[in-house]
């Protein structure tokens, strides 16, 4: 680890709460791999103080920031520009200083895409079922559209929210095949699908919960992605595994959204070996510490 000195570049995370974030650990992995003189600090932003926080960060020449709950949407109004994909998604988790400007990006969608690539889970040409219709689902629906999934099906407890996402995606690409329904509308699920679970159901400590119980669903899907990473294997993943699906949890998404943010901030890229070493260390850190 490089000692902090006058040349240290400062990055950070704006959120509320921020005590449980793994982001400083992840970014330190990149600094260590590349001998980069950087520091990543979580910044607690009290309610009503986001604009002041952004102005302060600008004035202090901060090079880059992540933004987390509850500020991913609100922050957009305080930025100089927002990139097209973040605009479509309607949320921004990464701010990059470009000259004098703070520019907003969304690296959650690309984090999931990079994680899928890393685990050889295909999106292009596949029928993708997204479970849930919250902020992450919207980012993932746009990712599927951008990566040319054959079709997108969004199933959610509140069907109107799934319909709203579908309408946003359609507005960008009229030709996209997109369907919506409730969590029990399993006739919408096509054989050989990739299923991406984006609700909070099954997250620690309520690990016995799962958005879809019916075996019919699991018998139709070949790939199961759960963007939850605690527990390491969710009930949704266990059910998929039992039916022979290949599974992946959300730790890779978390890791690769940070990789992309680091690339945007520094212009540096980690090679394959460095990326793999970092991911292995993150797995050890998260699962040894949180799960004994
Ligand atoms: P969000 O915007 O609040 O959306 C929550 C979704 O969960 C909605 O679709 C909601 O359905 C559904 N839901 C909640 N409780 C439910 C219940 N009892 N039964 C059925 N559906 C239920 O949340 P988000 O920001 O998208 O995040 C969702 C999850 O993704 C969280 O667990 C978060 O930790 C995880 N996440 C992981 C990463 C990563 O890097 N791995 C990144 C972002 C988020 P309704 O619309 O019907 O309310």
In this prediction, residue 93 carries a pLDDT of 97
In this prediction, residue 292 carries a pLDDT of 42
pLDDT above 70 coverage of the chain, percent: 98
Q: Residue 6 in 3-state DSSP?
A: coil
In this prediction, residue 289 carries a pLDDT of 58
In this prediction, residue 18 carries a pLDDT of 96
In this prediction, residue 70 carries a pLDDT of 97
C-alpha to C-alpha distances, 85 to 64, 105, 143, 168, 201, nearest whole angstrom? 18, 7, 9, 12, 27
Q: Which of 154, 200, 249, 256 to mutate to test the pocket of ligand 1 (most atoms within 8 A of CB)?
A: 200
Q: Write the pLDDT tens digit of every residue in 98-155.
A: 999 999 999 999 999 999 999 999 999 999 999 999 999 999 999 999 999 999 999 9
Greatest Cα pair distance, the chain, in angstroms, is 61
In terms of DSSP bridges, do strands 178-181 and 246-248 run parallel, antiparallel, or are they unpaired?
unpaired
Phi, psi of 151 (to 5 degrees): -155, 160
Q: Has residue 85 got a pLDDT over 60?
A: yes
What would the mean pLDDT of 202-227 be, rounded to a whole number? 97
What would the mean pLDDT of 84-110 be, rounded to a whole number? 97
- The Å distance, Cα 198 to ligand 1 centre, comes to 5
Which residues are 248's β-sheet partners?
A: 225
Residue 133 Cβ inside 6 Å of ligand 1? The answer reads: yes
Return the structure tokens found at 61. 């020449």
Q: Has residue 255 got a pLDDT over 80?
A: yes
Lowest model confidence (mean pLDDT) among 24-33, 178-187, 281-290? 281-290
Q: What is the pTM of this model?
A: 0.96
Q: Is the CB of residue 218 less than 8 Å from the CB of residue 240?
A: yes
- pLDDT, mean over the chain: 96
Catalytic residue annotation: 72
Q: Has residue 284 got a pLDDT over 80?
A: yes
Q: Is the CB of residue 89 less than 8 Å from the CB of residue 139?
A: yes
Residue 226 Cβ inside 6 Å of ligand 1? The answer reads: no
Q: Whose CA is nearest to atom 31 of ligand 1?
A: 200
What would the mean pLDDT of 63-91 be, rounded to a whole number? 97
């Amino acid at each position: 680890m490089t000692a902090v000195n006058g040349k240290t570049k400062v990055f950070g995370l704006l959120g509320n709460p921020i005590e449980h974030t793994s982001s400083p650990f992840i970014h330190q992995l990149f600094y260590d791999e590349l001998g980069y003189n950087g520091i990543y600090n979580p910044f607690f932003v009290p309610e009503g103080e986001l604009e002041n926080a952004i102005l302060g960060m600008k004035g202090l020449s901060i090079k880059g920031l992540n933004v987390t709950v509850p500020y991913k949407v609100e922050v957009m109004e305080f930025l100089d520009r927002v990139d097209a994909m973040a605009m479509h998604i309607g949320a921004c988790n990464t701010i990059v200083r470009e000259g004098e400007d703070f520019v907003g990006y969304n690296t959650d969608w690309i984090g999931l895409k990079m994680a899928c690539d890393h685990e050889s889970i295909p999106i292009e040409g596949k029928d993708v079922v997204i479970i849930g219709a919250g902020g992450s689902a919207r980012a993932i629906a746009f990712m599927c559209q951008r990566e040319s999934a054959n079709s997108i099906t969004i199933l959610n407890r509140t069907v109107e929210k799934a319909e709203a996402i579908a309408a946003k995606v359609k507005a960008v690409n009229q030709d996209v095949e997109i369907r919506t329904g409730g969590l029990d509308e399993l006739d919408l699920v096509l054989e050989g699908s990739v299923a991406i679970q984006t609700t909070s159901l099954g997250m620690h400590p309520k690990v016995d919960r799962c958005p879809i119980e019916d075996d019919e669903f699991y018998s139709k899907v070949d790939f199961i992605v759960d963007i939850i990473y605690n527990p390491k294997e969710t009930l949704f993943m266990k059910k998929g595994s039992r039916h022979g699906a290949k599974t992946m949890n959300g730790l890779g998404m978390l890791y690769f959204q940070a990789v992309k943010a680091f690339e945007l901030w520094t212009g540096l890229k980690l090679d394959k070996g460095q990326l793999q070493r970092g991911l292995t260390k993150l797995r050890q850190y998260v699962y040894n510490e949180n799960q004994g």
